[in-house]
Structure formats: structure tokens, C-alpha cells
């Protein structure tokens, strides 16, 4: 099953496109690391649901309903609603602006800027609360975390062949194994993204353990770095201006 709506696989077995520059691949990798950091905060420090993996949240919702756990139901519904709103809003904003192999169009970049700003606001709130939000604040932060992951996912879909999934990599892993390793044409960037997910989650978990108030700062920094990397193709082949 593809990670991308419409059944399109996120990449071919080898390099997804020879024209796709290294800078965009680095940008995607940094976004994957950011999503790993957000998931760490969402699952371990908020209400034990995921901010960007909605398949798992649907299963968690079902389990919470079956166990009559009201808190679990609320958390899963907030995550699903936030992600859906973020993805839908991004789809509307980027309509008619799908990227090419070598470019992320301006609406995609603007959505990612919006994501970074929302993550920065969340980081400030997280720091003010000392990394220990109460129930009401957890609900708001949970919704906000899922909202940012919905924006990021929608932006990567709109970017088309110049991007890849960054918040849910199950289909990416399956494609890599079946059509890459299995066909003898593995894409070297898929393991890089998988390692980035682990690294982002691990780094955030370490900060949560040693300096919990600062944990929220990692995701917006990583998204900002991804934006800087995404602008780099402008020096190689020009950036779309519409």
C-alpha cells in the first residue's frame, strides 16, 4: 500500500528521480527527524497517542473505547481532528501548486513556515509550563502537535515527486524492501530517513529526560533547517516563484 493518496508510490526502487537535488533530500530527512521528535513528545509526555501516525491512533481509539477509557478516547480524537484539519487546510492552500521533481512551490514552503511557527509557539508554552502541562494544556498541545503533522504531511503530498512521506514510513519501508532490496535496486536515502526518524525521537527523548522544558525546541529548529535546505535548489536550478 502506498504512503501517498491515490496509490502513487513515494519513490521508485532506485533513485526516485535523477533530477532531484541533494538539498531537497536533506530537507525531507530533516522533516522526518522533526516528526520523530514531535512523536516522542506526543506519545511519552502528552496522552500516549501519536501526532502523525493516524493508523495507530485509530487502533488506540478502538482500544480506548473497548476499555471504556475516556481519557484515551479524548486524546485519540484530538489527534485525529488536529491532523485532519492540518492536512485539509494545507490541501486547500496548495491546490493547483503541485511541485516538480526539482522544486517545492511557494505555497508548500509557506505551509512549512506555518508549521515551524506553530511548533515554536508550542515550544514556548511547553517551556513556560516546565515540560509538565496539566490536563487542559495537554489537550491543547496534543491537538496542536497533530495539527503541525497534518500540515507537514499535506505539504509533502503537494510537493509531489520532489518529496516523500515524512510522518509515517511504513509504506516507505515496505516499498524499499519489496521493490528496492528485493529487486536489487535499493534507494540509499530510505535508510537515511529511517535513521533520521530514530535520531529525532532519540534526541528528543534524551532532552525530555535531562532538561524537559527544552524538549519542545527541537522540532521547530529541525523544520527551520529543512526550510533552509529546501531553498538551496534555487542556487542549482532556480526556485519556482508562483
* Chain segment 144-191, per-residue pLDDT in tens: 999 999 999 999 999 988 889 999 899 888 988 988 787 677 778 999
Q: Cite the DSSP H helix spans in the chain.
A: 22-40, 54-66, 70-93, 106-128, 135-159, 170-175, 189-210, 218-231
How is 156-192 classified by DSSP, letter by letter? HHHHGGG---SS--HHHHHHIIIIIITTT---THHHH
Contact call for residues 20 and 229 (beta carbons, < 8 A) = no
* Neighbour-count burial for 210-221, b at 16+ CB within 10 Å, e otherwise: eebbebbbbbbb
**Considering the chain, what percentage of its residues have pLDDT values greater than 70?**
84
Average pLDDT of the chain, as a whole number: 86
CA–CA dist 200, 231 (Å, integer) = 22
Measure the CA–CA gap between 232 and 236, rounded to whole angstroms. Answer: 7
Sorted by where each begins, the domain ranges of the chain are 22-235
Which three cell numbers, joined as nine digits, stand for 139? 489537550
How many CB atoms are closer than 10 A to CB 30? 24
pLDDT band at 81 (very low <50, low <70, confident <90, very high): very high
Burial status of residue 190 (CB atoms within 10 A of its CB: 0-12, 13-18, 19 or more): buried
Lowest mean pLDDT among 12-26, 122-136, 214-228: 12-26
Per-residue pLDDT, 145: 97
C-alpha–C-alpha distance, residues 240 and 100, integer Å: 9
pLDDT in tens, 187-207: 789 999 999 999 999 999 999
Which residues 6+ apart lie within 8 Å of 236 measured at CB? Answer: 21, 23
pLDDT band for position 70 (cuts 50, 70, 90): confident
pLDDT > 80? residue 236: no
Cα distances from 33 to residues 68, 198, 202, 241, in angstroms, run 34, 7, 10, 28
The pLDDT of residue 103 is 81
- Evaluate if residue 235 carries a pLDDT over 80: no
What are 100-147's pLDDT values in tens digits?
Answer: 667 898 999 999 999 999 999 999 999 999 999 999 999 999 999 999
The dotted CATH code for 22-235 is 1.20.1250
CA distances from 148 to 31, 32, 38, 217 (A): 11, 13, 9, 14
Give dist(CA 112, CA 120) in Å, integer: 12
Amino acid at each position: 500500500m502506498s504512503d501517498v493518496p491515490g496509490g502513487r508510490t513515494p519513490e521508485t526502487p532506485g533513485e526516485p528521480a535523477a533530477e532531484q537535488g541533494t538539498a531537497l533530500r536533506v530537507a525531507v530527512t530533516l522533516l522526518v527527524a522533526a516528526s520523530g521528535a514531535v512523536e516522542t513528545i506526543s506519545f511519552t509526555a502528552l496522552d500516549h497517542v501519536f501526532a502523525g501516525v493516524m493508523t495507530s491512533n485509530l487502533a488506540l481509539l478502538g482500544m480506548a473505547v473497548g476499555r471504556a477509557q475516556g481519557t484515551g478516547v479524548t486524546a485519540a480524537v484530538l489527534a485525529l481532528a488536529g491532523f485532519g484539519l492540518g492536512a485539509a487546510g494545507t490541501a486547500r492552500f496548495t491546490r493547483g501548486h503541485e511541485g516538480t521533481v526539482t522544486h517545492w512551490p511557494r505555497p508548500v514552503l509557506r505551509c512549512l513556515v506555518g508549521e515551524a511557527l506553530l511548533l515554536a509557539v508550542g515550544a514556548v508554552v511547553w517551556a513556560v509550563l516546565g515540560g509538565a502541562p496539566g490536563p487542559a494544556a495537554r489537550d491543547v498541545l496534543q491537538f496542536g502537535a497533530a495539527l503541525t503533522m497534518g500540515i507537514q504531511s499535506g505539504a509533502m503530498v503537494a510537493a509531489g515527486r520532489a518529496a516523500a512521506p515524512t510522518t509515517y514510513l511504513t509504506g516507505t519501508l515496505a516499498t524499499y524492501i519489496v521493490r528496492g532490496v528485493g529487486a536489487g535496486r535499493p534507494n540509499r536515502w530510505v535508510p537515511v530517513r529511517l535513521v533520521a526518524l530514530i535520531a529525532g525521537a532519540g534526541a528528543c527523548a534524551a532532552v525530555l529526560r535531562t532538561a524537559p522544558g527544552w524538549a519542545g525546541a527541537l522540532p521547530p529548529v529541525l523544520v527551520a533547517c529543512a526550510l533552509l535546505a529546501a531553498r538551496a535548489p534555487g542556487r542549482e536550478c532556480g526556485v519556482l516563484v508562483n
